[in-house]
Structure 1
Amino acid sequence: MSTSYQDIQKQIVELQAKAEEIRRVEVSAALAQIQAIMQEFGLTLTDIGGGIKSLKSPRKPVEIKYKDTTTGNTWTGRGRAPKWLEGKDKSKFLI
């Protein structure tokens, strides 16, 4: 006797429910174990790398070196030169 598609789908749903329940139990056990270890050694979330992430200082914006006064286009001088500067003397646009 072969099983039907609906029977298999029903089994899948049942197995997924079982798996989720087992996962909840295992996560609870893991959390309890982690809490016990933290209490035993007097650890905090900061000690194990949790909580606040390291704060990086914000980068200072790069100063603009070139500006086209007629259009207002600007360029810092870093990276590839913009199209509006192609074929032009860059020294004329220095700030």
Structure 2
Amino acid sequence: MATYKQLTAQLEKLHKEVAVAREKEIAQAIADIRQKIAEYDLTAEELGFTSPRKPARKTAAASVPKYRNPKTGETWSGRGRSPSWLAGKNRERFLIDG
């Protein structure tokens, strides 16, 4: 029976052989793929590496202010968390006419 040291040496040798075989096969596969791409004039999109152009995403429209703090001029659109200057107060007093 082989010793631990002999088996680990064999394993290391096998790992190196696997790496060399893999590199050779990858190089051959790449060459084959390149040849097919050239032969059929394929594009990256046709191969699924890029997606067709999608329409540009619409950006959210800027919110129009609905409320204004008369002391500071600070405004709030009515969306999101209410500002501290409106807390516990009648919002109608701060409405912007328009």
- TM-score for the superposition, normalised by structure 2: 0.54
Q: What amino acid maps onto 1:4 in structure 2? A: T
CA distance in 2, matches of 1:37, 1:69: 63
Alpha-carbon distance, 1:20 to partner = 0.5
Q: Which has the larger radius of gyration?
A: 2
Equivalent residue of 1:27, what SS?
A: helix
Runs of 4+ in 1 over 4 A off after TM superposition: 52-61
What is the aligned residue count?
A: 72
Q: In structure 2, do the counterparts of structure 1 residues 36 and 6 end up closer, same or farther at CA, with 3 Å as the change threshold?
A: same
Please tell me the root mean square deviation across aligned C-alpha atoms, in Å.
Answer: 3.2
- TM-score for the superposition, normalised by structure 1: 0.56
- 1:65 counterpart = 2:64: no
- Cα deviations across residues 3-29 of structure 1 (Å, max 9, x unaligned)? 111111111110000000000111111
Segments of structure 2 that go 5 or more residues without pairing to the other structure are 64-77, 86-90, 92-98
Segments of structure 1 that go 5 or more residues without pairing to the other structure are 72-91
Alpha-carbon distance, 1:48 to partner = 0.8
The corresponding residue for 1:41 is 40
